[in-house]
């Protein structure tokens, strides 16, 4: 595969006169042989159905309409197709089961595919000769058969050449059988060469397309495995770092608290307060990092039925103990239940309330609005603070977002909080959006499915 400067655009590596590289050749052969067998099974079923319908029509309709007595060869070939085609169907079915167990393509499978392709081409060609007795009219069915096989089946270039030789020889034999004159035979042979050349190019193009597609799939799978391993390693490192840092941070905080047991002058007390505040911020950063790693691949979470009015009141009460800002609950429906993970959703609301307080003055209120719209629960966390600049809004839910800002009291941001909030809400099959006006405040809107 040749990649251009734009990684989204890549050229098709053609294989008109070569096979796939050794790295992928065996795996691709196993893959396309299975696909060929599935295509043969389906094609055999369709071909058998067509011949069965023709046989029924001949038996049901009067001879004056079908004139079946004028086409004894049709009667023979139709019965031949009805007998032989199911054998190909059963053979394809058996080989599919076998390759499903062994995961490997055998020479017998490849030969089977080759024989079916030749069978379809010759069947169409011979049936057309019988029906028209005109070689030129037969070329239409000949072309259709070649196109069907070139698109349906994948062959190596040497297999295509052998198939072309057999097909060309069979067409020549049928021309002799039809007693075509020398001039017609010459022109028909030239047309046959053109058709076979087109068959080769179409077949090799589809081979190249499918080979390139297969290589891309393998490379994507390989990259996904590498990404998964890198993600697991990152989470392990984050866990180890957080675990190892908690102890020294806790030790520093304990020492600061022990110092407070003694009488301290104003300067020393300020230093101790600074130490405690720094330890608290460090713990918050560690919590954010661990939560981001823990929620990264969250799909299914354990939930319980929670009455939201009481739940939100308990969260507000906990915040009122440590903050002078008024936090109000405005609810239009009571009771109202939702399926939530109490621990995780509390982190969502704590994060949003914390953000609201961080960018609000002490005289401003923070409001939680609870509503029910149809079968959707809405929770709004609304403040009347600084607001968010419009150019930052599209980026605030990104991990390690550059939209993170320092609060009114100097609070630092890790750029992880809102990305964690979004992950948790989506794991609850919900959505979160934001609207904001600078200088007037911000509203975060959470939408959740209502609990039965």
**Each residue of 42-57: pLDDT tens digit?**
999 999 999 899 889 8
pLDDT reported for residue 94: 94
Task: Output b/e per residue, 406-434; b: 16+ Cβ within 10 A.
Answer: ebeeebebbbbbbbbbbbbbebbebebeb
pLDDT reported for residue 29: 86
Q: Which of 27-41, 226-240, 264-278 has the highest mean pLDDT?
A: 27-41
Report the mean per-residue pLDDT for the chain.
80
What are 10's two structure tokens?
């890549």
Q: Which positions ≥6 away from 286 have C-beta within 8 Å? A: 242, 245, 246, 249
Name which of 68-72, 120-124, 231-235 the model is least confident about.
Answer: 68-72
Cis peptide leading into 328, omega within 30 of 0? no
The fraction of the chain above a pLDDT of 90, given in percent, is: 13
Name which of 37-51, 229-243, 281-295, 403-417 the model is least confident about.
Answer: 403-417
- Rounded CA gap, 341 and 291, in Å? 14
Q: Does residue 272 contact residue 259 with C-beta atoms inside 8 Å?
A: yes
**pLDDT at 352 exceeding the cut of 70:** yes
Which residue is it, tokens 């071909």?
47
pLDDT reported for residue 438: 83
pLDDT reported for residue 9: 40
Give the residue with greater pLDDT, 174 vs 325. Answer: 174
Average pLDDT on 381-402 reads 79
What are 103's two structure tokens?
């995961």
Task: Output b/e per residue, 371-383; b: 16+ Cβ within 10 A.
Answer: eeeeeebbbbbbb
Q: Which positions ≥6 away from 362 have C-beta within 8 Å? A: 324, 325
Strands (E), 19-105: none
Average pLDDT on 373-384 reads 88
Number of Cβ atoms within 10 Å of the Cβ of 167: 23
- Rounded CA gap, 375 and 259, in Å? 55
Closest residue by Cα to residue 198 from 166, 169, 164, 171? 164
- Domains of the chain plus CATH, in order, are 2-226 (no CATH), 304-449 (3.30.565.10)
pLDDT reported for residue 230: 77
- Rounded CA gap, 356 and 362, in Å? 11
What are 393's two structure tokens?
């809004």
User: Cα separations (Å) of 399 from 157, 336, 346, 392, 431?
Assistant: 50, 32, 20, 13, 17
pLDDT reported for residue 52: 93
pLDDT reported for residue 112: 94
- Rounded CA gap, 318 and 129, in Å? 90
pTM for the structure as a whole: 0.51
């Amino acid at each position: 595969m040749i990649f251009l400067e734009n990684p989204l655009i890549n050229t098709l590596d053609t294989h008109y006169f070569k096979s796939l590289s050794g790295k992928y050749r065996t795996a691709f052969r196993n893959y396309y042989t299975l696909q060929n067998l599935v295509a043969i099974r389906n094609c055999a079923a369709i071909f058998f159905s067509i011949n069965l319908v023709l046989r029924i029509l001949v038996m049901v309709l009067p001879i004056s309409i079908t004139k079946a007595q004028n086409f004894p060869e049709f009667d023979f070939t139709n019965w031949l197709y009805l007998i032989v085609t199911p054998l190909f169907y059963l053979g394809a079915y058996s080989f599919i089961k076998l390759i499903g167990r062994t995961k490997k393509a055998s020479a017998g499978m490849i030969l089977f595919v080759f024989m079916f392709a030749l069978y379809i081409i010759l069947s169409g060609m011979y049936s057309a000769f019988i029906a028209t007795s005109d070689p030129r009219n037969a070329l239409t069915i000949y072309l259709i058969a070649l196109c069907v096989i070139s698109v349906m089946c994948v062959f190596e270039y040497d297999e295509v050449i052998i198939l072309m030789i057999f097909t060309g020889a069979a067409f020549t034999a049928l021309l002799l059988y039809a007693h075509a004159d020398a001039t017609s035979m010459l022109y028909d042979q030239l047309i046959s060469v053109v058709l076979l050349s087109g068959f080769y190019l179409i077949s090799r193009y589809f081979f190249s397309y499918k080979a390139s597609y297969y290589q891309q799939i393998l490379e994507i799978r390989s990259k996904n495995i590498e990404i998964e391993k890198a993600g697991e390693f990152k989470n392990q490192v984050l866990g180890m770092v957080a675990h190892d840092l908690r102890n020294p941070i806790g030790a520093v905080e304990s020492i600061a608290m022990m110092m407070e047991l003694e009488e301290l002058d104003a300067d020393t007390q300020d230093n101790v307060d600074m130490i405690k505040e720094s330890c608290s911020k460090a713990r918050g950063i560690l919590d954010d990092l661990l939560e981001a790693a823990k929620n990264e691949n969250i799909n299914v979470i354990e939930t319980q039925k929670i009455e939201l009015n009481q739940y939100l009141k308990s969260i507000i009460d906990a915040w009122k103990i440590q903050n002078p800002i008024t936090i109000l609950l405005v609810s239009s429906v009571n009771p109202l239940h939702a399926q939530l993970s109490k621990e995780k959703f509390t982190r969502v609301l704590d994060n949003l309330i914390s953000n609201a307080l961080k960018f609000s003055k002490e005289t401003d209120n923070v409001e939680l609005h609870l509503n029910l719209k149809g079968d959707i629960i809405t929770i709004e966390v609304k403040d009347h603070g600084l607001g968010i600049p419009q150019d930052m809004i599209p980026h605030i839910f990104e991990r390690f977002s550059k939209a993170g800002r320092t609060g009114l009291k100097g609070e630092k941001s890790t750029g992880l909080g809102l990305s964690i909030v979004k992950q948790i809400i989506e794991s609850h099959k919900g959505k979160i959006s934001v609207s904001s006006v600078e200088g007037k405040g911000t509203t975060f809107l959470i939408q959740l499915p209502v609990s039965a």
